[in-house]
Structure 1
Amino acid sequence: MRSLAIVADGGARIALRVFEPAGAERGSVVIGGAMGVRQDYYAPFAQWLAGQGWRVTTFDYRGSGDSRPDTPGGGLRGYRADLFDWARDYEAAIDHAHAALPERPLYLLGHSLGAQLPGLLRNPHKVKGLLSVAAGSGYWRENAPKLKRMVPYFWYLLVPLATRLFGYFPGRQLRKVGDLPKGVMLQWRRWCLNPRYSVGAEGEHARLAYARVRYPVLALSITDDELMTRQGTESLFKLYENASCELHDLAPADCSVRRIGHFGAFRSEHQAVLWPRLQQWLASGLVAQETA
């Protein structure tokens, strides 16, 4: 594994990690992380996937993880960033990975937010496909029941008050999501309160951006996901109106485990069954297999 930094639009320094296979490279995989989840979390899976012949890139969005500002303590008060900026960070990681293996296919593996932002990328021509894990539109009425009950408190009280007081969202102190730039959190709030999520909140230019995606998408809806629902997953991929999308339910029993949940797919306990299945989907070009 190599750690390095690249510069994205706006001059933001983006921390990357590259996991390279020992032998011939089958292609590139860029892992787009979930909201508030550091790239560290995906390291065991990325290392394992590199062992299967893939060149894997992980990264932290600006203002998070190792891409926090170069100030004492990496403070976020007053730090300017929104979800469009995070899409630019995603693009920079894709550009770097594509330049390293321009003749090999490049796939995105998007976890939650990491499967939402590809609709806003300006370089979809460099991508051969998207494997989505535990991603949905985020629209609050399509959240899982327990999460939906928290929405009025979270979006209408906690988020506006906390971001106003601190100048960013202090998620680590509140034990919710993680520390996030103010612009990211307030834009995400608008998305989650709109029935058409990002496209509804941002308008026609966002719809056209999603419409430019024409690579295949294979989406996994986790049946015991505590945050997302199958309805939310269906709504998200309706936004990719010109892409060929397949949606599959994935239950813990399919992987011989008791639980997967929203965050579990990348834990090492799934190395024996689920990880090989994810790799097989990538190797097949995101064409569904009979055993899946």
Structure 2
Amino acid sequence: MTAGSRASGTWRIALPGAGDGTQYLAATVTDAGPTPRAVVVICPALGVKASYYAPFSDHLASRGIASVAVDLRGQGDSRPRAGRRTRHGYHELATRDWPAVIRATREHFHPPVPLFLLGHSIGGQVGVLHTAHDPTSTDGLILVAAGSVDHRGFSGAARLRVLAGTQFIALVASLWGYWPGHRLGFAGRQSATLMRDWARICRTGRFAPAGADIDYEAAMAQAALPVLAVSVQGDRLAPRRAVDRLCAKLPAATVERWHYRADGAPVGHVGWARSGEDIAERISGWLARRHAV
């Protein structure tokens, strides 16, 4: 937690029956008074702990929006950590983890409080898959610095760099048994299955995760939900074209697009969460315009 954080508690959300030995997801709850306007479930990027979003959660809370920031399966304070026994990919995150978090959040804040998923990077991709799989579980989706990793959404040398990088990571993860990003300086420890799913999107442009029980591409095309999609100046991992490419997967959705330009130096793919007052204000305005909350 950061100094002055409004965080009001931590949760351990059990995942009974998880095939890879996962016991619980860790989450940090930031309340916004006895009657919040809405609650936002924050789904992090790879290698980014839930606690990193504390300043952003405080900005939301000051606008009457509660939040629940969740550590992705196998990272942060969720247990056990990703390793060679880990088997989860996008499908398990979308169909097992997010439903468990949403149930816990609704039980805490009660059903009348509107609930939105806010996905950052891979958290946004999984959020899209979750809402495609269960379009009635949330009241809408917020994407911040979340784009398709499809290499066609990048320009120039970045296209080849992203394609080569994702395939290399998937190869190392498959050979090693998991991705040792905590040692190699990118994305933290991650499941090999998750990294192969990620690399497949980059290579093919299609969301077809291992173990999928539906055609996600078709389900995404039919998902009619409100979406706020925010790209961030200076973001090399989710540039504007990549965010647009993810939004294009949702033709039935009502999408509001905004490109955030920070005063001063660009904040990039992760830094926005440490200085996210402008983004919190945009979310607050979107909720008021779209949902009258």
Q: Give the Cα separation in 1 of the matches to 2:248 and 2:16.
A: 29
Residue 31 of structure 2 corresponds to residue 20 of structure 1: yes
* Higher relative helix content: 1
- Equivalent in the alignment of 1:245: 255
C-alpha separation between the residues in 2 aligned to 1:158 and 1:16?
Answer: 27
1:67 counterpart = 2:78: yes
1:210 alignment counterpart: 220
Deviation per residue, 1:178-197 (Å, 9 max, x gap): 210111111111111113x3
Cα pair 2:169 2:179 within 8 Å, conserved = no
TM-score, normalised to structure 1's length? 0.84
Q: Partner of 1:229 in structure 2? A: 239
**Counterpart in the other structure of 2:150:** 139
User: Does 2:130 align with 1:123?
Assistant: no
2:4 corresponds to which residue? none
- SS of the residue 1:125 aligns to: coil
Partner residue, 1:96 = 104
RMSD value, Cα: 2.5
User: What runs of 5+ residues in structure 2 fail to find an aligned partner?
Assistant: 1-7
**Deviation digits for residues 138-171 of structure 1, max 9, x if unmatched?**
10232355643423542344531x2244210001
Conserved? CA contact 1:124–1:212, under 8 Å: no
Alpha-carbon distance in structure 2 between the residues aligned to 1:9 and 1:213: 28
Residue in 2 aligned with 1:58?
Answer: 69
What is the number of equivalent residue pairs in this alignment? 276
Asked if structure 2 preserves the Cα contact closer than 8 Å seen for 1:25 and 1:53, the reply is yes
Q: Does 1:81 align with 2:97?
A: no
Query: Which SS does the other structure have where 2:267 is aligned?
Result: coil
Find the aligned partners of 2:145 and 2:82 in 1 and give their Cα distance.
Answer: 30
Unaligned runs of 5+ in 1: 288-292
| CA contact 2:227–2:254 (8 Å) conserved in 1 | yes
**Range 80-89 or range 111-120, more displaced:** 111-120
Residue 223 and residue 65 in structure 1: after superposition, are their counterparts in 2 closer, same or farther (change >3 A)?
A: same
Change (3 A) 1:236 1:164: closer
Alpha-carbon displacement from aligned partner over 1:73-114 (angstroms, at most 9, x marks no partner): x46122221111111212221222223320121112221222
User: Which residue identity lines up with residue 190 of structure 2 in the other structure?
Assistant: L
Q: 1:235-272: CA deviations, max 9, x gaps?
A: 211111211112222222xxx2321211122114x43x
Cα distance in 2 for residues equivalent to 1:155 and 1:125: 32
Judged with a 3 Å threshold, the aligned counterparts in structure 2 of structure 1 residues 143 and 286 are, in CA distance, closer, same or farther, namely: farther
Classify 1:194/1:209 alpha carbon distance in 2 versus 1 (closer, same or farther; 3 Å): same
- Partner letter of residue 185 of structure 2? R
Contact 1:218 1:286 in 2 (8 A): no
User: Does the aligned pair in 2 maintain the 1:194–1:200 contact within 8 Å?
Assistant: no
Counterpart Cα distance in 1 of 2:145 and 2:104: 26
Would you say 1:176 and 2:186 are equivalent positions? Answer: yes
Query: Secondary structure at the residue paired with 1:155?
Result: helix
Q: Which whole-Å CA distance do the structure 2 matches of 1:184 and 1:33 have between them?
A: 14
Whether 1:108 and 2:117 are equivalent positions in the alignment is yes
Does the 8 A contact of 1:98 with 1:126 survive in 2?
Answer: no
- The equivalent of 2:267 in structure 1 is 260
- Is the contact made by 1:79 and 1:182 (CA closer than 8 Å) also made in structure 2? yes
